[in-house]
Structure 1
Amino acid sequence: MTWNPRKTDNDDVRLSDSANEEVKNPGEEDQETREQLYQDLDAEIILQNRQRSSSTKNVIGVSSEPYLDLIFNPFNKRQWNYLSLDHLLDYLIIRVTDKGNNFYIDSVGEFEQKAGKFFSDTNAFIELSYNPFNEILNKVIQLLNTLRGKDLIRKWQYEQMMPDRTKCELAHLYFNPKTHKDGIPVRPIESTIHAANTKISKFLDKILRLIFDDKCKNTTIIDGASLIIELSKYNNKGLLKPATLLCTFDIRNLYIMLPQEQALNSLMKFLSAYG
């Protein structure tokens, strides 16, 4: 029994009982196999061949978005191994989708173009040429020391808001793809969970949220259940008519479109009236 390494439809090695069957030169065979392997394992081809559009699904009101169809066209073992190689990180990017539990795969170049478009459209961020971590941390510590020195905050408040230098990190920006939107734009995420001023933010939130929730509860919809309750009240008053139009609106880039100074002025007016 001899082993014939020629490629079959099943992409497996084939055993032959015939010792007289023609066998290619091993060097030529290896070269042909390598070329075929590179073609089969080209990352872009692998992904493109498995991309389908959600518009082919029986879904109403969902914009077209690409996804990997691995049910009807799964990767084989060699392709999975190839996609797991570190060198793919040079030109592929994997992100968790915005408002979903899926993964989005894109080329680094295309994803950077989308991020660049966001920067140019909003003009809300600048790229720093230095690391301001120590500067920010020192300013926060100095502010808290000043407030405590003037007895404007209590000792326990001072300790709650004081950042831990060993656990602090510089806040940074990253993007998640919005696959539910046409063109799959990106949503900016500001990671501030370990920033120097996060403890101050959490402390103030505990105080301000109680006041806001109490004073604005009659005009605030927090979830679907509260919406149904308010609509029921509206209907009981005889205001919900067959001709009533219910409208929703979406503000693009809401948080970065609010000027900080204007937001602080609004907060001061609110606290002056209700604080």
Structure 2
Amino acid sequence: YVRLVKRLKHKIRSASLVLQKTDKSKVFHLGTRQHYQKKSNEYMEKTEAYQCLGVNDSLPDLIERTNKYLLDLRLAHWITQKQYELLCVKPSEAILAHLYYLPKTHKPGTPLRLIFSGLQHPTIKISTYIGELLRPLFDKIALKTTTTSGFEVMKQVYEWSTNNLRKETLLCIIDVVNLYTMIPQTEGVLAIKKMLDYLELKQIGGLKIETIIKLSRFVMKNNYFFI
């Protein structure tokens, strides 16, 4: 079995093939590297949301910039010493986020779904920390318009249809294409501020609202990755 796997890996590499898990299915997709590169280039050109930095390694600069930003916030008393130590980046543990694709074999033309793996990205501690503060607030606001399972969807549709369903009623679903790049950075930060203004909160978890906005903006504007 081990020899078979090694031979298979060798054949795949020598033929410049990519064996990849597919999106939303349990099968695998076998394609050429040229195919993936072509699809990737098409996506980048279509969205116009990315800038290629070439072969330069942006990790050291991003680590330094992140730690300096956090230090400036600490010295200005926007964050506490404990928060500074919690969010600070350790150079030995930081890795740039990695972009890869999962083929959507269930759709015509086999488009690709972008996956960002950034568990050790320099800003991951900040985004995780902010996310843990904001997620419960958002979930509470969106409770009545959010479903977490197909059963809940059918239940709500049934309850709605009791008094609202007509012969001419059309039920439809909406698929947002390229959701990741459809929300501009500025509007994303403004959406967070709008939610916090609506809740009339001055601070969350010991962080001032202004600090949360500053950190959110920093994360969005320092989103680097390699392919």
With the length of structure 2 as denominator, give the TM-score of the two structures.
0.77
Q: Say whether residues 1:206 and 2:132 are aligned partners.
A: yes
What's the counterpart of residue 113 of structure 1?
Answer: 38
Distance in 2 between residues matched to 1:80 and 1:147, nearest whole Å: 52
Paired position in structure 2 for 1:164: 90
> Which of 251, 255, 258 matches 2:180?
255
Q: Per the alignment, do residues 198 and 91 of structure 1 end up closer, same or farther by CA in structure 2, a change over 3 Å counting?
A: same
**CA distance in structure 2 between the partners assigned to 1:171 and 1:80 by the alignment:** 29
1:239 aligns with 2:171: no
Q: What is the count of residue pairs matched by the alignment? A: 197
**1:169·1:195 contact (CA, 8 Å) conserved in 2?**
yes
Query: d(CA) in 1 for partners of 2:81 and 2:155?
Result: 43
Amino acid at match of 1:107: T
Q: CA deviation at 1:214?
A: 0.9
Instruction: Determine the structure 2 residue equivalent to 1:74.
Output: none
Q: State the alpha-carbon separation in 2 of the partners of residues 158 and 100 from structure 1.
A: 42
1:99-158 deviation per Cα after TM superposition (whole angstroms, max 9, x unaligned): 222221112222222222212222222221211101111111112112222222233322
Aligned residue in 2 for 1:136:
62
Q: Which moved more, 1:149-158 or 1:183-192?
A: 149-158
Q: Percent identity?
A: 29
- Closer, same or farther: CA 146–225 of 1 in aligned 2, 3 Å: farther
2:142 is paired with a residue whose SS is helix
Q: Paired residue for 1:187? A: 113
Give the equivalent residue in structure 2 for 1:155: 81
Instruction: Name the residue aligned to 1:219.
Output: 145
What secondary structure, in the 3-state scheme, does the structure 2 residue paired with 1:95 have?
strand
Do the aligned partners of 2:19 and 2:30 also contact (CA within 8 Å) in 1? yes
Match of 1:123 in 2: 48
Return the match for 1:267 from 182, 189, 192: 192
Letter in 2 for 1:228: M
TM (norm. structure 1) is 0.65
Identify which of structures 1 and 2 has the higher relative contact order when contacts are C-alpha pairs closer than 8 Å and 6+ apart: 2
Distance across 1 between alignment mates of 2:12 and 2:145:
53
Task: Tell me how large the CA RMSD over aligned residues is.
Answer: 2.3
* Aligned position for 2:22: 97
**Residues of 2 paired with 1:112 and 1:144: CA distance?**
37
Poorly superposed stretches of 4+, deviation over 6 Å: 78-81
Partner of 2:13: 88
For structure 1, which runs of at least 5 residues remain unmatched after alignment? 1-77
| Structure possessing the higher radius of gyration over alpha carbons | 1
How far apart, in 2, do the equivalents of 1:152 and 1:84 lie?
52
